Amino acid sequence: MEVTVTYLEMRELPTLPAAPPPRADLAVVQAVKPTVSFYRYLYNTVGEQWRWVDRHKLSDEQLAAIIRDPAVEVYVLYVHGVPAGYAELDRRQFPDIELAYFGIMPEFIGRKLGPYLLRWSIDKAFSYSPRRLWLHTCTLDHPKALATYQRAGFQIYSTEAKVVDDP
């Protein structure tokens, strides 16, 4: 199948203040050296409907080497103690930081948690004073993903068409 991949970047922290949390029972917690099984739970639950497959191709050892690297940070959004989404910041190519993975669990989509977690992730990334924060999305992702990233202040810097196997 053919997909369009869009690459976006942000070179400075947005000037608009962050919106308040959409509800009072939220917590963003870093999963320090997460287990592979917990990470796969996050990745699979968030990404299944969007056909995320890249991390499925990695062995447990390969995945552990990434997610336990001190320059890779996994943050989990909890709603009343339940995982509702996650963001992965990859600082291995600093001074650039990649928002490598980002998403909300299906049961929590549509509750304004995505924009909240995205801005939280942007603020966290810029606390390291990067040259830029970048990410990529594609036409298989949530239909509002690209617009959400652009509303948050990301600018498109490249697009490409790719042919990928339908998982």
Residue range of the domain that includes 156: 2-13+23-163
User: What is the number of domains present in the chain?
Assistant: 1
3-class DSSP state for residue 82?
strand
Name the token pair of 84.
Answer: 């509702």
**Residue 1, pLDDT score:** 83
Q: What are phi and psi of 52, to 5 degrees?
A: -70, 130
How do strand 26-30 and strand 155-163 relate by DSSP bridges? unpaired
In a domain, 18, yes or no: no
pTM of the model: 0.94
**Residue 130, pLDDT score:** 98
The tens digit of pLDDT for each residue in 21-70 reads: 888 899 999 999 999 999 999 999 999 888 888 898 999 999 999 999 99
CATH code where residue 101 lies: 3.40.630.30
Name the token pair of 12.
Answer: 């400075």
Please name the amino acid found at residue 7: Y
The tens digit of pLDDT for each residue in 100-133 reads: 999 999 999 999 999 999 999 999 999 999 999 9
* Contacts with 32 (C-beta within 8 Å, 6 or more apart), sequence order: none
Q: Look at the alpha carbons of 46, 87, 74, 55 in this order and tell me if their dihedral is positive or negative.
A: positive
